Amino acid sequence: MSKVRTEDLIDRFNLDLVTGEDGVHREIHTSDISRPGVEMTGYFKFYPKERLQLLGKTELSYFNELNEDQRRDRAEKLCTDITPGIVISRGMEIPAELITAAKEAGVPLMRSPYKTTRVISRLTNYLETKFAPFTAIHGVLVDIYGIGVLITGQSGVGKSETALELVKRGHRLVADDSVEIRQEDYDTLIGNSPPLIEHLLEIRGLGIINVMTLFGAGAVRSYKRITLVINLELWEKNKQYDRLGLEEETMRIMDVEIPKAIVPVRPGRNLAVIIEVAAMNFRLKRMGVNAAEEFSDRLTKVIDQEQTNGE
């Protein structure tokens, strides 16, 4: 899990730091953002002080209607020693009591010119991305006709060579060798390359090549959602492989089940074309067209018709 500090939010979203410079190094440990409305009434029993606090027009309007002692009390209770920061939306004027309390407690007090809902949405999306479950898998990730295809298989089976052929055919490389994967939401996996090897391919006999330099910026992507896994394995003579496509296997990555296909490798097979067609066929299935099921239905009708004629 990535570390996120308040200063990261200030830099990324260009927030105006009003006071609390001493606390910009405080860490944020959750993507949840609190709008302390009930706390403005004086009820702090369940105050989530470890969260980023956001005050919009409603909270500040109520705060300004309180008397001076109440405002001072609420401000001091809002600013704790673990509160990562307080954000004021709409560029509103900040009450003096809140500025004083934030300065004394070392809580970063920031201001954004945007509407409350927009600020919450942007901050939440950023934090959820940073705190998303993370793993790394040995393989190659390629964007094929808009489908994020994760190519896996044992070392030396030909993953990188296949990716190179796919790039030559107009598809886009996301990552080679090691694919960093984070889970966004409950059913979405986003893959990207480690910064050290971004845009690079390792081809045995050639070494390291820079795909973006050789093929242009259109041949690479920084990240892509993973929707299909193709596992390459050496051909086994006695193993039965799926020849119709009726069997649907999946691969579990963290909490997400991803459709998986096994492609046997043997001399003479054009793996790039096979994987390309697999991606197109996957798109057709998502659109409701399943060639394997159509063939099965045709076969069933032919058998039923022959049995009827035989009777």
Domains of the chain by residue range:
4-130, 134-295
90 classed as catalytic: no
Do 4-130 and 134-295 have matching folds?
Answer: no
Residue 177 appears among annotated catalytic residues: yes
- What CATH number does domain 134-295 carry, 3.30.2420.10, 3.40.50.12170, 3.40.50.300, 2.60.40.1660? 3.40.50.300
- φ, ψ (nearest 5 deg) of residue 204: -60, 130
The domain 4-130 having CATH identifier 3.40.50.2300: the answer here is: no
Backbone angles phi, psi at 33, to 5 degrees: -115, 135
- Determine contact, residues 192/180, Cβ cutoff 8 Å: yes
CA distances from 47 to 37, 43, 80, 91 (A): 10, 8, 11, 25
pLDDT of residue 119: 96
Decide if 266 contacts 235 (C-beta within 8 A).
yes
Catalytic residue selected from 12, 25, 118, 138: 138
Indicate which residue of 3, 204, 239, 243 is catalytic: 243
Among candidate residues 26, 111, 159, 221, the one labeled active-site is: 159
pLDDT of residue 107: 96
Q: Is 138 a catalytic residue?
A: yes
Query: How many Cα atoms are found within 13 Å in the side-chain-facing hemisphere of 139?
Result: 23
Token pair 């509407």 is at which residue?
Answer: 115
pLDDT at 246: 65
Question: What's the confidence (pLDDT) of residue 1?
Answer: 55
Which stretches of the chain score pLDDT less than 70?
A: 1, 242-246, 292, 310-311
* β-bridge mates for residue 232, sequence order: 153, 263
In terms of Cβ atoms closer than 10 Å to its own Cβ (0-12, 13-18, 19+), residue 266 is exposed
CB neighbour class for 10 (10 Å; exposed up to 12, middle 13-18, buried from 19)? middle
Q: Which residues contact 285 (CB under 8 A, 6 or more apart)?
A: none
Let me know if 111 is a catalytic residue.
no
The backbone region for 205, taken as left when phi is positive above 0, alpha when psi lies in -120 to 50, beta otherwise, is left
What pLDDT does residue 289 have?
Answer: 76
Task: Give CA–CA dist 50/47, Å, rounded.
Answer: 9
- Structure token pair of residue 178: 């090691």
pLDDT of residue 285: 85
User: Which of the residues 177, 260, 283, 285 is marked catalytic?
Assistant: 177
**From residue 217, how far is each of 166, 170, 206 by CA, in Å?**
15, 12, 21
Q: What is the rounded CA–CA span in Å between residue 96 and residue 72?
A: 9
pLDDT recorded at residue 51? 96
Amino acid 148: pLDDT: 96
Token pair recorded at residue 99: 């500025």
- Verdict on whether the full-model pTM lies above 0.85: no
